[in-house]
Structures are given as structure tokens and as C-alpha cells.
Chains A and B, each alone.
Chain A
């Protein structure tokens, strides 16, 4: 059994799975139920001066019947009195001393930051997370992403917190920026102890076409919200990796965004995250999902021969590089397994309409001199047991190895991308260095041809 425990800037947690600051961490009763089920930590729903929320406040992006692929909210920070929250935080920490209890904060003035930090630290919690990320409602009042989008302002406010807090300070970053490194570097310069990201992405989830009001509908109106859920994971992964591989980022990262399974978590950790935080998946399925997250991650580490989760951290980072450093001689081609192909021809139409038409059906002819190693087997499989399936095969000489067919194929494992690399490594940057980085057919040639004609 691999060791799942972590230490995040000195904050101890029995596993890397934390609840993100959100509705699931709204109250002591909820957080305690989550801890009973195994969550390693929780970031309390953001404290500040209480607000009023609207009804309704959530919207869901459903894709092909799959609910909540993306999720949108216009909820603000906690609506409960500070006093009640502080009492419950203290109670949770007392009952679960081994779990990470981090409290999210958002206020405006320096004085407010000083007082709320003092009051929060007195609960015995393990760390603070400054919410510089909320992209709706609070930012209109000069808080949340309004701070996170201005590196200079961020640095000042973070500096106050570091000054007032005897416990670790994390900054929760907003993805609503051009370059995540700017706020990340500013936060580290202010002396914070960790970064959490991403908060939600500014969004408009959809429109009620009968009422002609965007979602979520509040009376006859709506407003922009913050987007999260499985659909944002790729954006979050990129931002986490971009920070993690930058030498200026010297503090641990808590990865957030679309995490629903141990696999998602393992990807964030492999790209440099120390802990991960979950919101939408818990809102969708409840706290119980953590059981499989823990077991699945543990089994995965065992299977890979890793003794602890810290061995996984950053494992995929060295392979994350610039485009210019990729091997231009690396070559894969699609290969269809005729035995499992069901003949839906989705790959065929995808390749025909969006790639190079190198997928063929049945006994279509193979161009002279081209390679298609599975063609005969495909023809045989199509007719096996008297069926007339449209089993496909790939003209390898034409295939550009783009992956599109394997992305659309509904049958897992039916299309594999086969490595047919035949030349040694050479990147674009290598070509620049060698002076061979010119691809014919560009404007230079065009101009030359035109001037020749004159």
C-alpha cells in the first residue's frame, strides 16, 4: 500500500484529496461528514462579510445526455455569519486533528484582512487560502478575480496576509488572465506559501430560448458566472503545469478544476500538484466518491511500483515542453483492428471530411505502391458469419497520424496509433539551429514566383 500522505507547505494531510472552497464546505456538519468518508482536507467556503445570494444560481452544460459536463454558478461567498463559521471550523479541527483544514478568505480593506485573519487563525485551522479568483459578483466589488487579474494589487494584498498570518497562506488564482505565470510569480514574490488553481472561468452557460434569458435565470435576468466541472480540466492542467515547470514558482501547488476521479487527480499530481481539490464532482455525486479516489490512486501507485504519492509528483513535467522541441520525425499511423471494428464508419467520415481520406471501407482498391497491412483481414472480417459490416482499413502511406479517427471511434482499443518512426530525432528548433527551418510553398516562394513572371 503506497503512502498517500502529503505535507503541503507544512500542512499535513492523510491523502491529497481536499474539498475545494464551495457549497460542500459550507458548514461544519458537511465537512465532518466528508472527513468521516475519508477526505484528507477541506478548504472552507470563503469567509468574508456575509452576502445575499440569488435564486436560482447554478447552470449545467449537458452534452449528449451526459449531465454536468460543465457547471456554472453565480453564487457569492458564504452567507452565514462569521461567528457561526468560526465556531464550526474550530469544532471540525478539534474532532479531526489529522485532517487539513484550510479557510478561504475574501475581504477588501487592509484592516478587514488583518481582523479576519486573526479571527480565523484562532480557530486552530491549518492554513489560509486567499480567494483572488471568483470571476462573478465579488469582482464587481473589487474583490476576487479583480485582485487576481492585477499582479501588482495581488502582491500587495498577499503581502498583508503573509504579514498577519502565523500559518501558511495559499493564493487561489483566477484562470481569467492571459498568462498564469504573471499572478503566480507575483504571489511567490509576496512570500506566500502555496498556490491553488484554478478558480472558475468567466462564463455564460446557455440561453433559455423560450424566455430569451441566459441561464441561470433569476427572475427575468441573468449574469455571467464561473465555469467549472470536467470540461475545464484541460485548462486547469495546462495552468498547473505551466506554473509547476517554471523555476520561479518555488511553492507547492494545489490543483483544482474538473477533478472527479483518482485518474484526474493523478494527472494533476504528475504535472506537479501536491494536493488536489474537488468541487463539481462532489456537488454531482456526493462525498462518497473519495473512497474510490483513495483506493484507485493507491492501486495505481502500487501497480507502478511507487512507494508514495510524492514519487508521482511532477513525473510528467519533463515531457511537457515547447512545440519547437517536439520530434518532427516521430511518426504514427492509425491501425484498425478488423476483429473489433463494428463498421460505424465514423472514422471514415471524420478522416474524409477533416483529414486526408486515408480510411477505406471494405474492398475499395488500394492505390498502387501504398501500404495497408490490415486490408485483407478487414475484407474477410466484414464478411465473417455472413455479415456485411463496413469494416475499415487504413492506407498507411497516406495517414498523417493526427489521432482524429482514434478519437471518434466508439470502440475502445479498436484504433491504435502505431509507431512507424524511421528517422532520428529532429525538432524545429534543431532545424532553426541548422538553418534548415524553411518549409517551401510560403510567401517567400510566392513572391519569388511572381517577380519571376514579370
Chain B
């Protein structure tokens, strides 16, 4: 089995980023856990897309039962580790914590969650937290090995289903591995979680693209069900003069290189411009800023109030020195001798820039969807499913995560995987034990 040590190099630029929310020690975790009121019918649980029983796991940390806490977390959300680190808790669980209504800092639910799961990972026994049902002989294929597929695969493996994930990249984990801001989680964190899910008994075939190396119809024929968890595609480009050439990057491509490419460096950049107003744009801006680029500008076509990115993220970016240029629509990348020197806006303003990161969205999985008969996409290119079951128009084919939602979150992808796993079990007649992890959390 390939473990993460063999997959990644040490000279990755992302390693320059320390954790913004460092791992709690035992004492700090217990102290924070003791602050939790142990609410009844707790709003934090309601606000968690997967429905983790927050007060119950926090109380277990407080009593010194961290392993029990990890079990509670992972049963409702097998990706509870990465979620602990990358979830925007400010708008999810912690944003709903009753302490907010008391005008006091909410419980640090994400950090407590990381503490519990990381402890279980550290002691090497996380794989034994759950009982695996006997093999059912059923076979399910996943397209992509990102959060949505991993969640589905882990739950199905526990239910005794044989799951194979086909991942186009050489390295699994999806955007958790290639996209998440390194001050939240490094690649090795994402791969630790993949190893955990793998330990539940799944098979990942890396470097295999469905649609070329493996054909969609072969999957539909050879497996009892297929889950499409391909996420989004290439970065969308602006399509303006000067975009092709050195110094201008698509955001997810740039972030992926920064996180994974050995020896990748950002040197001698005086002014970095990030085009876009979503969370990917804010991430890229914060990353440039934390890489000591002296001037970082966000170039957004509307006003701050209209930005789709989270306000708490934008506030943090501002505190880190990022400046926002509002109502700014790029018309042309200005180059001197081929070198990027600035951006001309359609109102005539000029923005100096020797590095530009274009974060205006990613392509949707239209082409892949088209290869599965009966699978439809909406006008925006998102795969159409029944939300409760994640089933597509083809009763054998399920889909979830960003491929269905457009760009969303790891935790919603994890919930989609769980929902689809339940629906597939029902469709294939696979029994789910009453006390199975698959029954935990939100429907």
C-alpha cells in the first residue's frame, strides 16, 4: 500500500505555512471542552452539514475519553479529520454555538474535533473504531478520490461493499490534497485521512482517468453502482489579451503547484493580483500575502458586500494586508518584453502586477456526465441528482460533492457521500446494522 511518505516530497513551498489553528495539547483541549455547556438539542449539531453530535464528543474529550470522541465524530462524518481543519466553522457549527448569543467567543469546535481524531490517528487504532460488516459481494466504483468519493467509499466498505476508486491524479484526496490553504492543512494531513479511509478496506487506483483509460460504460457494466465524485475541472480563464504567458496562472493550478511541486517558489514578486471574489480568490490572496509578497491586491468586479467569499475570510485577508480593488473588470494583461507588469481595467484604471492569479471559477463536469447514459446536467453544468439519495437520472449512477453542487465544501461533499452510501445500500439490498456508523448524523 502506498502511504503518503512515498507520494510527496519534502521541499514543498506549502511547508512554509504554520497552522493558523495549531493542534491542542491535552490540557488545552480539556479546558476548552469544559467550556462547552453540553446543550440539549444543540444548535451546533444542527448546523453541522453531517450532523456530528458535537456536545457528546466534546464531553468525551472533557472526561478524557478522546477515543470515544473520535468515534462519535467519525461515525457521523468519516472525513471528520479534514473537516475539523478546513471547515468554515464560523458559518457552521461554531457560528451556531449558543455562546454567540451570549456575546462570548464560541467553542472552538474544529480544534477540539481535530484533537480527538488526530489522537485516534496517532495511536494507530482509528481503523478499529468501527466494525466491518461481512463481505456482501456487491461492487461499487467511484470516479475520483476526493472527499465525496472517500466518504462514500469508507461507509460502503464498513457495510461490506467492495469499493474501487479511480483517480486521475497520481495522488488521492481531491482538493483536500491539492487545494486547501496550507495554513489550514498540509498535503500530509489530507493523506493521513486517505490512509485512514483506506484502512477501512477500500481500493484506490491512482493515475486512472475515467473517460479515457477506463470507459464510463465499462464501469456501469462491471459494477453494481457507480458514484461520480469528480468535483470541478480546469480553472476558467478571462479570455482577455495577454492572459497566455508567464506570470498569469489559474488559481487552483497555482495552488496545486504551491502545495505539491517540489522546489516551487514565489520569488521576486513585488505585486500579486488575484482576480475574483470567492473563497478560492481569498485563499490565493492570503497565501501570497503569507509568502511575503509585499503588495497583494484582490481585483473584484463588484463591491465588497457582494463578494461570494466568506466575510470572516475576507476580514482575515485584510488583517494580513490584502487590499481589495472593487468594481474592477480586467480588460487586458499588460506585458513588457513578455513580462507581466500590470492589468488594465475596463474603466481605464491600471493595476501594477508582476503575478496574476485568476480565480473566477472552474469548469463543470459536463463531458464526463455525458458519457453516462441518463445522467443529466443543469444549465450550469452541475450533475442533476435527487438531493436525499444523490441518485442521478440513471438508477445505477449516483453523484455528489462539487460535481453536483458547483464549488462547495468538504463537509457537504462528505455528507453527499454518506447519503449516497445509504441509498446505494438500500438499492442493493445491503443491510445496515442499527448501530452502524452510516446511521449517525443528519439524514
Contact = CB atoms under 8 A, between A and B. Distances in A.
A362 to B, nearest CB: 11
A390 B43 contact: yes
A349 B38 CA distance: 11
15 contacts: A64-B62, A65-B62, A342-B98, A342-B99, A342-B101, A343-B43, A345-B39, A345-B41, A345-B42, A346-B37, A361-B41, A388-B43, A389-B101, A410-B37, A410-B102
Given A64-B62, A389-B43, A390-B43, A344 B37 contact: yes
Most chain A CB neighbours (cut-off 10 Å) among B34, B62, B101:
B101
Interface residues of B, number: 15
A346 B31 CA distance: 20
Given A65-B31, A390-B43, A344 B62 contact: no
Most chain B CB neighbours (cut-off 10 Å) among A344, A345, A349, A361:
A344
Interface in A316-362: 342-346, 348-349, 361
A404 to B, nearest CB: 14
Given A342-B99, A343-B101, A348 B40 contact: yes
A40 B42 CA distance: 50
A342 B37 CA distance: 11
A453 interface: no
Contacts of A348: 40
A342 B98 CA distance: 5
Given A342-B99, A342-B101, A389-B101, A65 B40 contact: no
Nearest to A64: B34
Interface in B87-131: 98-99, 101-102
Contact of A344 (B30, B31, B34, B98): B98
Given A343-B43, A345-B41, A410-B37, A65 B30 contact: yes
B402 to A, nearest CB: 27
Given A344-B37, A344-B98, A410-B37, 12 more contacts: A64-B34, A343-B39, A343-B43, A343-B101, A344-B40, A345-B39, A345-B40, A345-B41, A345-B42, A346-B37, A346-B40, A411-B102
A408 to B, nearest CB: 9
B190 to A, nearest CB: 33
A64 to B, nearest CB: 5
Interface string A410-427: 110000000000000000
Nearest to B39: A344
A411 B103 CA distance: 11
A387 interface: yes
A349 B40 CA distance: 7
**Interface secondary structure of A, over-half rule:** loop
B98 A343 contact: yes
Interface in B2-36: 30-31, 34
A65 B28 CA distance: 10
Contacts of A65: 30-31, 34, 62
Contacts of A390: 41, 43
Contacts of B30: 65
Interface in A37-70: 64-65
A188 to B, nearest CB: 46
A359 B402 CA distance: 43
Closest 8 CB pairs of A and B: A65-B34, A345-B40, A349-B40, A342-B98, A342-B101, A344-B39, A64-B34, A344-B98
Given A64-B34, A64-B62, A389 B98 contact: yes
A342 B41 contact: no
Nearest to A63: B34
A349 B34 CA distance: 19
B101 A387 contact: yes
Nearest to A209: B64
Contacts of B40: 344-346, 348-349
Contacts of A346: 37-40
A205 to B, nearest CB: 17
Interface in B54-72: 62
A381 to B, nearest CB: 10
A306 to B, nearest CB: 36
Contacts of A387: 101
A343 B41 CA distance: 10
A342 B38 contact: no
A340 to B, nearest CB: 8
A65 B41 CA distance: 24
Contacts of A64: 34, 62
A214 B305 CA distance: 61
Interface string A371-413: 0000000000000000111100000000000000000001100
Nearest to B64: A209
Nearest to A347: B40
A64 B41 CA distance: 21
Contacts of B43: 343, 388-390
Contacts of A388: 43
Interface string B186-206: 000000000000000000000
A342 B43 CA distance: 11
A228 B229 CA distance: 61
Interface string A2-23: 0000000000000000000000
Contacts of A342: 98-99, 101-102
A244 to B, nearest CB: 37
Nearest to A350: B40
A348 B98 CA distance: 15
Contacts of B101: 342-343, 387, 389
Contacts of B102: 342, 410-411
Contacts of B38: 346
Contacts of A349: 40
Nearest to A381: B101
Contacts of A344: 37, 39-40, 42, 98
A410 B102 CA distance: 10
A34 B43 CA distance: 50
Contacts of A410: 37, 102
B59 to A, nearest CB: 10
A411 B31 CA distance: 19
Nearest to A352: B40
A388 B43 CA distance: 9
Nearest to A343: B98
A340 B102 CA distance: 7
A60 to B, nearest CB: 15
A249 B121 CA distance: 65
Most chain A CB neighbours (cut-off 10 Å) among B30, B31, B40:
B40
A168 to B, nearest CB: 46
